[in-house]
Amino acid sequence: MRLAPAITTLALVLSLAPVSGQQPPPPAAPPAQPSDISLTLSQEGGRRIALAVPAATAPASDIVQSELVDPFHKTLAGDLGTSPWFVLADPSLHPKGFRPPTTREEGDAWIASGAQFLLDTQIRSEGTNVIVSAQLLDLRTLRPILAKTYSAGGASIRRVAHVIANDIVRQFTGKPGPFLTRIVFSSDRDGSRNKELYIMDYDGENQRRITFHRSLSIAPDWSYDGDKVVYQSFVSTPPGLHWFSLGAPARTRIPVTTELNSAPSFSPDGKTVAYAGSVKGNPEIFVVGLDGSNPRRLTNSSAIDSSPRFSPNGREIAFTSNRQGSPQIYLMDLEGSNVRKLTLTGNWSDEPAFSPDGGRLAYACRNEGDFQICILDLTTGRTVQISSGPGANENPSWSPDGTRIAWELQRGRSTQIVSAGIDGSGFKVLTSSGNNGYPVWQRTTE
Amino acid sequence: MMKPFRSVGLLLAAGLLVTAGCCTKKPAPAPAPEVKAVEPTPVPVPVPTEAPIAAPVAEPVAETLPADLAELNKKGYLKDVFFDYDQYDIRADQRDVMAGNAEWLRKWPTVKLQVEGHCDERGSNKYNMALGDKRANATRDYLVSLGIDASRVTTISYGEERPFVEGQDESAWSQNRRGHFVITAK
């Protein structure tokens, strides 16, 4: 049994809806309604939910094991294991069998492994299709609180795992996790001095190139609806702001009269971008329509102004300036008025990134030594540093559910994209080929 | 794992003052690297008092430039200028270099050029892209102050995207903070 060839087009359409006609393997009890458990998180007082996620059961076969069971389990356990809502029970403590547990004794054997819930999955094939059944069991009641069957269709087994992981998170939090989201970034892997844009899944899988300028393509931003990417391109002089729709071949240069033209940021409505443009050697923050219409200069300072980011409500722009000495992050409204300094500590702050709810700002911070990733709570003014250790950390970007941050980490001569929870937990290295930077997380969850 | 901020670190600043502080036009006030920017205007310091207007007379008889631009650029007639950390004014110790460049450009008045602004990797990517723009333009403005027609000089910033020297010490970094000249037309 083989899966369909890997899907390479960006505009892939998937048939991943739960198969309503499919019955899960005889459940121990009738599926209960999801609402039964939706209060668990608050009841637990913020503690992580203990999940057992054993490898899926499947027909014994080497090819099924290597092509389906292993990648499925790695993906599912990777998703849920790095989610801030869960802690995975140690697989070496899982009981043998009892899938699902049907007696109190069997349930207690799972509880003894440290789990409150069991995510039991089965993989089987039907013709050329792959069917995955999943049920989430409350080990205290032995009742499933979620039971669904998924048809892989032409999609990869990894994608099925992400869909299931999203369903599990949604079950407890009401919102999906970041498991089906993607990250756009810049990489030099295909040419010594060039950088092209790439896209990858949130966990670093499915990396694929999306620009072919044979030049520098850097500092991308992703429109809020997930359709467009804008970036700084050096394919012509002066460097320009280019954008394209994912899945469409056209690359459009925004006509502007400025030079520099760096660090574009989409407005939430996707109609304009803020960017750093230079007139006679003075970098200022501009906003311009995607078609070049209504260019407006928002700053007026002889100092450096750079790195603009629209706030998620579209009414303000954060940017970096050295107008009062060292580079620090400021906030202004869309008229360029009401300028106020946001970062009050450290000797260098840059690359602001608003959390999806607009309440926090991640940025590259430095006091001494290397850059780290800091998060400033815009309500309390409190700053926490989420990275540590050797290496320079830059260009943070939030996952659309606000639980994780991706950034670039330079250690020695190697720069790679990493991600972690906003408390620094669940650290993962996402890239390894060449040098990779400027990650920007898709803003839609699915 | 969260490190609290410590008070302003002076390590980098101290290193810089040792290596580069010898001949700045005004004595660096305090060790903190950002102290200068209280007056952020990049004033290109056009003080070509002893500009060597003397003798561009180099027997115009035989001398020619290589026809090929790549060959011409390899000759290195125009010398790069170097900058202090997070600074974009032409250093006092770079003025002779700039005077030499201006002299050569006066001698070859049809030559056009692009000034590339480059930064070391210690700053942040996005700010450095703007800093490189400041450096390229400060370099151009200085040439203009020495009498070079502004229309001959374009600028571009590469930020820290195209370092000249690999390495993570001041000797590499100081090489990467530069204005680099590329002749674009003869």
Percentage, residues of chain A above pLDDT 70: 89
Q: Which residues contact B172 (CB under 8 A, 6 or more apart)?
A: B120, B163, B165, B166
pLDDT tops 90 at residue B167 = no
pLDDT tops 70 at residue B14 = no
Answer yes or no: is B161 within a domain.
Answer: yes
Asked if A394 and B124 come within 8 Å (Cβ–Cβ), the reply is yes
pLDDT tops 50 at residue A274 = yes
Paired tokens of A288: 């311009």
Asked if B156 and A364 come within 8 Å (Cβ–Cβ), the reply is no
Residues A282 and A269: beta-carbon distance below 8 Å: no
Say yes or no: A203 contacts chain B, CB-CB below 8 A. Answer: no
Does A34-173 match A182-441 in CATH topology?
no
Q: Domain spanning A34-173: which superfamily? A: TolB, N-terminal domain (3.40.50.10070)
Q: Indicate if the alpha-carbon torsion angle B159, B164, B166, B170 is positive or negative.
A: negative
Answer yes or no: is B4 within a domain.
Answer: no
Answer yes or no: is B1 within a domain.
Answer: no
pLDDT tens-place string over residues A15-34:
343 433 333 343 334 333 33
CA of B100 vs chain A CAs: smallest distance (Å): 23
Residues in chain B with CB shorter than 8 Å from the CB of A320 are 124, 126-127
- Of the candidates A322, A350, A388, the beta carbon closest to that of B1 is on A388
Answer yes or no: is B2 within a domain.
Answer: no
What CATH code is carried by the domain that includes residue B36?
3.30.1330.60
Confidence of residue B63 (pLDDT cuts 50, 70, 90): confident
What pLDDT was estimated at residue A33? Answer: 38
Q: Where are the domains of chain A?
A: 34-173, 182-441
Paired tokens of A102: 């049907």
What pLDDT was estimated at residue A17? Answer: 37
pLDDT tens-place string over residues A263-272:
999 999 999 9
pLDDT tens-place string over residues A59-90:
988 888 889 999 999 999 999 999 999 999 99
Say yes or no: B121 contacts chain A, CB-CB below 8 A. Answer: yes
pLDDT tens-place string over residues A33-47:
333 333 333 333 468
CA of B54 vs chain A CAs: smallest distance (Å): 31
Pick from B127, B135, B141, B158 the residue to mutate for testing the A interface (most A CBs within 10 Å).
B127
Asked if A278 and B133 come within 8 Å (Cβ–Cβ), the reply is yes
- Ramachandran class of A381: left when φ > 0, alpha when ψ lies in -120 to 50, beta otherwise: left
What pLDDT was estimated at residue B58? Answer: 52
Count of A–B CB contacts within 8 Å?
Answer: 154
Asked if A281 and B125 come within 8 Å (Cβ–Cβ), the reply is no
Whether CATH 2.120.10.30 fits A182-441:
yes
Using alpha carbons, select from A143, A158, A153 the residue that is nearest to residue A107. A143
Chain B 48-77, residues with CB within 8 Å of chain A CB atoms? none
pLDDT tops 50 at residue B20 = no
pLDDT tops 90 at residue A445 = no
Residues A8 and A140: beta-carbon distance below 8 Å: no
Say yes or no: A300 contacts chain B, CB-CB below 8 A. Answer: no
Number of domains in chain B: 1
CA of A25 vs chain B CAs: smallest distance (Å): 45
Domain that holds residue B149: 11-185
